[in-house]
Amino acid sequence: MSSPTGSAVVSAAQPEAVEAGVNALKAGGNAVDAAIACALVAGVVDPQMCGIAGFGNAQLYLPGEGVHTCVDFHGTSPAATRPHQWEHLIAGETRDGFGFILDGNVNDIGYQSITTPGAMAAYHEAQTRYGRLPWADVVAPAIEWAENGFAIRPAVRHWWTEGAIMGRVDNVERLRFTESGRRIYFREDGSLPDIGDTLRNPDLARTLRRIAEGGAAEFYTGSIAAEIAADMNANGANLSADDLANYRTVWGEPLRTTYRGLNIATNQPPGGGVIVAYLMNVLQQFDLAALGHNTVDYIRVVTEAMKWATADKDAHVGDPEFVDVPLDQLLSEEYGIEIAQRIRSGERAHVARMAGEPPDTTHVCVVDEEGNAFTMTHSLGMPSGVITDGLGFMFNGCMGVFDPRPGRAGSLAPGKRRFSSLCPTMVFRDGELELVVGAPGGTQIAIGVTQVLLNAIDFEMPILDAIVAPRFSSTSNAIDVANRIPRSVTDQLAADGYDVIRWPRSYAFALVHGIKRTGDQSSTTRWTGAADPGGDGMALAI
């Protein structure tokens, strides 16, 4: 396991995508070019984790141009969405809070599960506004991988075959939902290809060529949009041509907070940066280093903070265009002190779940030789299984996370963006960029990113160590722990009345990727990158 160091670094969950990013830098591109090239390739070689019909959030920092901004490209619910449309179908809620289970799984698979995609718009806007390379050059590597094929990696094959989780549809059913899916992802005998087999997607290659020539307009108002709209209309989807044409990304200032004298910039709601900021605000009231890393007391303090953050998120955080999100109150110093006092007194938070998020996302971090940085989490959510014939890409299934119960922060409404845990984050020391981090991992993203920040800041771990250290999570009334946390610790937590659930995986609760400054600020800037060993990713330096 290596942690490459250089004047520029790319870290992401797919080696093929990382190489595309590094090649963009070598061709004279900047961090934005590298990240978008990386993202487009990821959509080809990790086709259920992300893609041009997905959603996400990114943070861009270009100090030489005076730019520090975020772009939110969550999928929006179609205009035909109605608040009560699924209320009669409610069967339950996933334990981790990543979505609702409905009779017939109409919110989870198929045409009704699709939100208006935002990824294609954000990729194109970010690259054409702030990149340096021609747009067609940035798309070219993705076209090549789609046409020539890629070797199926373990993480891709594992997702295909992991079965139904937390009441959701089996992923094999997603792959074979449409005729195109059956043709792209299955052999002639109906079996799935194996690890190491080559998967080609000429339909996607042709689609990407059209986008390389016509940009995002081809997807939202051009001939691709027409093909999408016809397919949606023929199959009872809510998504329409007007939804595509009216889609807009949201650009704006990062959400900022401080921790131990450092400045932290993350994303605004409906993204998960509010969870990171909330946790840091509470946890800076404790001497975590004195508690000891992953000790009984440390886990108790941090998990209670996680539970309070989750309960407040469920009650208050949603699309700020529809919900008044009380950020000033949730992130105030006074409220952080209040929650810390409750934790010290032994009070335990309660996270309400109905009876009854898988990590279907990916991430890219880039820092270039000029100190420009880009961190982006992008996803299909739980992919819908829908592939419009001839286009080659799968649509997101993001309607599954909206709350089918009216009158709540995450309830259904036309044109609404649902909360997600995506939290591309940067840390600054004395005005200089020090750390770039983010992760895939469903509802666990903010939980995993926060623990890596604590590891890097409170325990002064190098970036690889900060990522590799075993993690835990509490987004319900239980404490979930990775299998590398000793039983001597979890036995004491259980004896104290906690419901401790041990995961069989050694690496769990998001797949964090990061880049950290090395050496003191007076020397030539060097960056060290790392990818979470729980996935197939890597970091490369130049």
Q: Quote the pLDDT of residue 95.
A: 56
pLDDT given at position 165: 63
Query: In terms of Cα–Cα distance, which of 7, 2, 12, 5 is closest to 514?
Result: 12
**Is 50 exceeded by the pLDDT of residue 153?**
yes
- The pLDDT score that the predictor gives to residue 523 is 59
Checking if the pLDDT of 481 tops 60, the result is yes
The position carrying tokens 């139904």 is 164
Q: Evaluate if residue 138 carries a pLDDT over 50.
A: yes
535 backbone dihedrals φ, ψ, rounded to 5°: -125, -165
Grade residue 168 by pLDDT with cuts at 50, 70 and 90: confident
Q: What does the pLDDT read at residue 343?
A: 98
For residues 300-322, average pLDDT: 95
CATH 1.10.246.130 location in the chain: 252-357+422-519
Residue 525 confidence (pLDDT) above 90:
no
Q: What is the pLDDT of residue 520?
A: 58
Residue 2 has pLDDT above 70, yes or no: no
- CA separation for the pair 52, 339 (Å, rounded): 40
Q: How far apart are CA 473 and CA 60, in angstroms?
A: 28
- Confidence at residue 164, expressed as pLDDT on a 0 to 100 scale: 61
Residue 522 has pLDDT above 80, yes or no: no
* Low-confidence winner among 6-20, 355-369, 483-497 (lowest mean pLDDT): 355-369
In angstroms, the CA 379 to CA 53 distance is: 9
Beta strands in 324-454 (DSSP E): 361-367, 373-379, 425-429, 432-438
Residue 491 has pLDDT above 70, yes or no: yes
What is the C-alpha separation between 353 and 348, in angstroms, rounded? 16
Residue-level pLDDT at 357: 42
Domain 252-357+422-519: top CATH class:
mainly alpha
345-373 confidence digits (pLDDT tens): 999 999 875 433 445 689 999 999 999 99
Return the pLDDT at 1.
58
At residue 356, the pLDDT reads: 34
Q: Are 128 and 135 in contact (CB under 8 A)?
A: yes
Q: What is the mean pLDDT of the chain?
A: 94
pLDDT per position as a tens digit, 78-109? 999 999 999 999 988 765 556 788 999 999 99
- Residue 166 to residues 170, 314, 358, 482, Cα–Cα distance (Å): 10, 19, 9, 18
What is residue 401's predicted lDDT score, i.e. its pLDDT? 87
Of 29-38, 384-393, 519-528, the poorest mean pLDDT is in 519-528
pLDDT, position 353:
54
Range of weakest confidence among 25-39, 57-71, 226-240, 522-536 = 522-536
Q: pLDDT band at 441, cuts 50/70/90?
A: confident
